[in-house]
Amino acid sequence: MLRSLSVSCLLLMFPAWSAAAEPTVAELFQRVNESVVVLLTGDMTAPQEQGNTPTSIQGLGSGFLISADGLVMTAAHVVQSAEVIAARFANGDVVRARVVASAPAADVALVQVEKVPAGATVAALGDSDAAQVGDPVLVIGAPMGLSHSLSVGHLSARRISPDQFGGFVPVELLQTDAAINTGNSGGPMFDMSGKVIGIVSRILSRSGGFEGLGFAVASTVARKLLLEEPSAWSGLSGRMLEPDLAAVLNLPHETALLVEGVADGSPAALLGLRGGDVPADIGGTSMILGGDVILEVQGIRFDSAETAAQIQQALSTLGSDGVVAMTILRGGQQVRLTGHKSEIGLR
């Protein structure tokens, strides 16, 4: 009886002995920070006046290392049409990178760095399905260029976005009140076990800055689209035009894909696609006009989630000697573009 009472008193005095204490936010940051990278991108843009040379527009985003051989996960909009990509690690090393898989409709992408510096660590992808509203989360990235900045918040809600970046594919987004700003895109959202449950994608804001409404693509979505069923990189960034916008632009189809940007040397560029150069706002939707509008691919029109999936399936099963064919609208005229899959580098 005396022995049992003594043990009980000890447990009351030292409760940490009976259960492992959760790591602090500071401890978690130290554990995972070396997996986070800053992504620097460059795009060459046409001169505004005749006779001037092309200029380079610099972009900034974040990402995180998911494999020891140099695979980095990020947001598609950070790298999709970038002509030059570099990754800056926590120790300051900057290495070149290239896109190896991308799913723009879900805003997730995978890049391969040429070399992984000593000291860099690999982040583990967690199970976003197990996360619950109210769970604490950590976001690490480069807001406004301030690399390896930490913000802390909670999982505010789970959302299904039917039109992420103008796409047809429903995407699960994790809403958070952790501060997110320009430069955080593509960075990891960690749970309190140090696993990535979301890839930072966007914010909702009236001021242009963070207002407590940030969104990250669920890790289960990223795992499926980039690791289990990898989507080939096209080098094309664009926006699906729904019937209302298609009518405003006087398109022959109710839906189509507007080409906003094309990376130099990418499969889209080698096929002959051209991006736009005229920023516009139509009905509150910002877009880049002046580029091609894709009406059909492999004879399949863009008009629903099902046909978008059919187009992807048709291209993925096409042999290396198969011909990629699409009908586009350029300068008010329908034009047909074709190219062998192997010649344009489409994997």
Q: pLDDT tens digits for the chain (347 residues)?
A: 445 445 455 445 554 444 456 789 999 999 999 999 999 998 644 444 444 444 444 689 999 999 999 999 999 999 988 889 999 999 999 999 999 999 888 899 999 999 999 999 999 999 999 999 999 999 999 999 999 999 999 999 999 875 544 445 578 999 999 999 999 999 999 999 999 999 999 888 777 778 889 999 999 999 998 999 877 788 888 888 888 888 888 888 888 889 988 888 888 889 999 999 898 888 777 889 999 999 999 998 877 656 777 887 788 788 878 899 999 999 889 999 999 888 887 76
- Residue 112 exposure: Cα atoms within 13 Å on the Cβ side: 8
Domain boundary among 172, 193, 224: 224
Flag whether 62 is in a domain.
yes
Residues 206 and 272 in one domain: no
Q: Give every CB contact of residue 292 below 8 A, 6+ residues apart in sequence.
A: 259, 273, 274, 275, 328, 329, 330, 335
Flag whether 159 is in a domain.
yes
Catalytic residue among 35, 43, 77, 147: 77
Q: In CATH, what number is assigned to the domain containing residue 136?
A: 2.40.10.10
Residues 208 and 136 in one domain: yes
Catalytic residue among 35, 156, 161, 185: 185
Compute the C-alpha angle 231/234/235, nearest 5°.
Answer: 130
Domain boundary among 195, 224, 253: 224
Concerning whether 107 is annotated as a catalytic residue, the answer is yes
Flag whether 261 is in a domain.
yes
C-alpha to C-alpha distance for 307 and 303, rounded to whole angstroms: 6
pLDDT of residue 337: 94
Residues 170 and 220 in one domain: yes
Catalytic residue among 35, 43, 81, 107: 107
pLDDT of residue 171: 86
- CA 300 to chain centroid, in Å, comes to 26
What's the Cα-to-Cα distance from 324 to each of 40, 191, 253, 309, 345, rounded to whole Å?
A: 31, 42, 21, 16, 11
pLDDT of residue 52: 43
Residues 79 and 147 in one domain: no
Compute the C-alpha angle 47/52/55, nearest 5°.
Answer: 50
Flag whether 23 is in a domain.
no
Query: What is the reported pTM?
Result: 0.78
Q: 196: closest CA among 108, 90, 77, 115?
A: 108
Concerning whether 185 is annotated as a catalytic residue, the answer is yes
**Total number of domains constituting the chain:** 3
pLDDT of residue 18: 42
What's the Cα-to-Cα distance from 106 to each of 58, 179, 293, rounded to whole Å?
A: 23, 21, 20
pLDDT of residue 165: 44
pLDDT of residue 335: 93
Residues 136 and 105 in one domain: no
pLDDT of residue 114: 96
* DSSP state for residue 21 in the 8-state scheme: P
C-alpha to C-alpha distance for 222 and 165, rounded to whole angstroms: 15
Instruction: Answer whether 257's CB lies under 8 Å from 234's CB.
Output: no
Q: 75: closest CA among 91, 99, 44?
A: 99
Flag whether 299 is in a domain.
yes
Put residue 217 in one of left, alpha, beta given phi > 0 → left and psi -120 to 50 → alpha: beta
Torsion of CA 17, 22, 25, 31, to 10 degrees: 100
Instruction: Taking the CA atoms of 318, 323, 327 and 331 in sequence, report the sign of the dihedral they define.
Output: positive
C-alpha to C-alpha distance for 85 and 102, rounded to whole angstroms: 14
pLDDT of residue 304: 64
Domain boundary among 52, 82, 113: 113
Instruction: Answer whether 222's CB lies under 8 Å from 169's CB.
Output: no
Domain of 290 in residue numbering reads as: 236-340
Flag whether 347 is in a domain.
no
Q: In CATH, what number is assigned to the domain containing residue 257?
A: 2.30.42.10
